[in-house]
């Protein structure tokens, strides 16, 4: 994959660094509708995708369905997970860091592949892009 951060130490330092660069146009806010996001000035990393809609929400974040725009993988579905901010307001939670470190090491047919990691330095939000898996483990 194409990762923003290469080592656990770098990831920890990056996600815990506070930035004073708040910029509404550079954040992908979960309260924004997908149509609004597709029309607005998306961050550069997000411009490679057509956002389709929200497909899930859990304890740690929101998940959106997107499709790749590039010629090599045009139309391929991707799930983008946006982590919720940590409760202490100090960047990304240790749970998210552990998830990233494990997913980068795992290659297995029963584990969805982590494609990309992005940290928005303006608001210290974290996004993970995965291959999209249509099935839910909890649906019979």
At 131, give phi and psi (nearest 5°): -60, 145
Compute the residue count for the chain: 140
Q: Is 82 annotated as contributing to ligand binding?
A: yes
Distance of alpha carbon 64 from alpha carbon 82, whole angstroms? 8
In angstroms, how far is CA 106 from the centroid of its own chain? 18
Task: List binding-site positions for ATP.
Answer: 82
Task: List binding-site positions.
Answer: 82
């Amino acid at each position: 994959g194409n990762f923003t951060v290469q080592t656990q130490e770098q990831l920890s330092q990056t996600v815990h660094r506070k930035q004073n660069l708040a910029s509404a146009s550079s954040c992908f806010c979960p309260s924004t509708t997908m149509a609004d996001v597709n029309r607005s000035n998306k961050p550069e990393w997000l411009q490679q995708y057509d956002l389709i809609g929200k497909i899930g929400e859990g304890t740690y974040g929101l998940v959106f369905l997107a499709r790749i725009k590039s010629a090599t993988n045009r139309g391929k579905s991707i799930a983008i997970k946006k982590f919720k901010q940590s409760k202490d307001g100090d960047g990304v939670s240790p749970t998210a860091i552990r998830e990233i470190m494990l997913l980068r090491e795992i290659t297995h047919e029963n584990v969805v592949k982590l494609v990309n990691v992005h940290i928005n330095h303006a608001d210290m939000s974290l996004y993970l892009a995965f291959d999209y898996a249509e099935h839910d483990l909890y649906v019979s």
